[in-house]
Amino acid sequence: MMRSIRRTILPAQHQFHDRALPVSLETKEKCQMGYSSPRSSSSPNPQRLFSFVFFVAAGLRRMGLGKFGIFISKSSCRKPWQQQSYWQRSLHFFLFFLLGFLLGLAPFFDLESNSSVLPNTNHGMSSPRRELGSVSRPDGAVSRLNEIPPVNIVVPKLLLIVTPTYNRPLQSYYLHRLGQTLSLVPPPLLWIVVETGYASDETADVLRRTRVMYRHLVCKKNSTEMKDRGVHQRNTALEHIERHRLDGIVYFADDDNIYALQLFLELRGIRRFGTWPVAMLAQSKSRATLEGSVCNGSLVIGWNTNEKSKNLRRFHVDMSGFAFNSSIIWDPKRWHLLAPSSVRQLDTVKEGFQETTFIEQIVEDESQMEGLPHGCSKIMNWHLHLDAKRLVYPRFWKVSSNLEVVVSLTKGI
């Protein structure tokens, strides 16, 4: 015998007289919190949301699901779980779960396209569509964004500091001193240290402790004379720069020189070739000389030199008294250079002429040079000859055994 289902005519059915209202939703609300109008919901658009609910509920009743007792009457609000069987409760739970799932997907559907099915509840009010992934901005926000001036980020040039070194008593002192100076220079900076024959563990340990970005290279070419060792080591660094096309300012910084921090800051202003005067201690250690450029502003107009034997040189510059753009090595056409071979230092010239023969491969005359600093009026590095050639130093610069006592302590002290 089939059970009859009572239907209560609600005010909402006067508006949607062609739709059936599910009684279970109304009876559940009346039993717990009393009747409340769908228009009093706090959702952004309650009329469209409840219209969608009524449409889904009416469709379920049209499918014939009412005869299974899914929608209950008012009299069943006391103990509904006692009047339903197991399969009815399961089906009841499943359908309301499906209804909640559809309600969750409701904002993603375009309900306006179904205007022929759903009633128009906006009463002439337009409902703007919002696409997924779009960002809504106020009208004033766009104008404020256009008013923000563009920020020009200037990336400083990379400094390529080339240092040839070799084993000698004061090598550790020189490398530590130069490394501490380079650690104060703002990045980016790459310290290229070149040794002859093999990379010693002592030098590698010093480079790691300086906390400066470095590359430890080895010059495979044997040098019999002291003056040729630095030439081949610098050429090894130039080959490394050309092979990897490192873009920056190349500077030959010997480890036994003394440098001011301002020098490395001035290097980043070089466009092609820069030079400056260098203070030098004479071989006799009795007097100091000044060698380098004489400038009128940034224009080089002459040279300082105190060595009569060096008057035959074209450019009177010390090896640590100039720097140049690295693209001259791996892109000479950019600077209109027609060099038949790579730019390298020559070991076939006399001692003291390596600097001028190398510079002649880079620039034609003083008009292509830049004097540093303004007016070349400040000494920024010093070339001192303080090597002790006959001293013996221990391995790793560490003493493995106790030293002999020269002066013994007396008992009275």
Position with higher pLDDT, 267 vs 9: 267
Terminal CA-to-CA distance of the chain, rounded, Å?
A: 123
- Whether the per-residue pLDDT at 37 is higher than 50: the answer is no
Does residue 373 have a cis bond before it (omega within 30 degrees)?
yes
- Which pLDDT does position 360 carry in this prediction? 93
Residue 20 has pLDDT above 50, yes or no: no
Nearest CA among 167, 178, 244, 247 for reference residue 203 = 167
d(CA 238, CA 240): 5
Tens-place pLDDT, residues 170-223: 899 999 999 999 999 999 999 999 999 899 999 999 999 999 999 999 998 876
- Using an 8 Å Cβ cutoff, are 317 and 291 in contact? yes
Q: Determine which of 169-178, 220-229, 309-318 has the lowest per-residue pLDDT on average.
A: 220-229
- Residues noted as catalytic: 355
**Which residues contribute to the annotated binding site for Mn(2+)?**
256
Type of residue found at 154: V
Q: Is the pLDDT score of 106 beyond 80?
A: no
Residues 6+ positions from 112 with CB-CB distance below 8 Å: 127, 129
What value, to the nearest 5°, has the Cα angle with vertex 361 and ends 357 and 367?
A: 100
DSSP state string for 121-190: -STT-------TT-----HHHHHHHHHSPPP-PPPPPPEEEEEE----TTHHHHHHHHHHHHHTSPSPEE
Residue 288 has pLDDT above 90, yes or no: no
When pLDDT is averaged across residues 308-318 and rounded to a whole number, the result is 79
Which residue, chain included where needed, has tokens 């830049």?
Answer: 370
User: Would you say residue 259 has pLDDT above 90?
Assistant: yes
Bin 34: left if φ > 0, else alpha if -120 < ψ < 50, else beta.
left
Question: Is the model's pLDDT at 128 over the cut of 60?
Answer: no
3-state secondary structure of 342: coil
Q: Which residues are annotated as a binding site?
A: 256
Amino acid letter at 397? W
Quick check: 396 pLDDT over 90? no
d(CA 361, CA 344): 8
pLDDT of residue 96: 80
> CA Rg, the chain, in Å?
44
Distance of alpha carbon 313 from alpha carbon 180, whole angstroms: 34
Per-residue pLDDT band at 296 (split at 50, 70, 90): very high
Which residue, 121, 327, 353, is CA-closest to 242? 327
Q: Are strands 159-164 and 249-252 parallel, antiparallel or unpaired?
A: parallel
pLDDT at residue 310 in the model: 62
The residues near 199 (Cβ < 8 Å, ≥ 6 apart) are: 216, 217, 218
Percent over 70 (pLDDT), the chain: 59
More confident residue, 194 or 140: 194
Q: What is the pLDDT of residue 231?
A: 92
Q: Name the average pLDDT for the chain.
A: 75
Which of 59-73, 140-154, 307-321 has the weakest average pLDDT? 59-73
Q: Give the whole-angstrom CA distance, residue 129 versus residue 310.
A: 84
* The dihedral sign for the CA sequence 362, 363, 364, 366: negative
Name which of 174, 264, 179, 162 is nearest 219 in CA terms. Answer: 162
* Ranges of each domain in the chain: 15-114, 159-397
pLDDT at 212: 96
Identify the CATH class of 159-397.
alpha beta
- Reference 370, options 274, 266, 265; nearest CA is 274
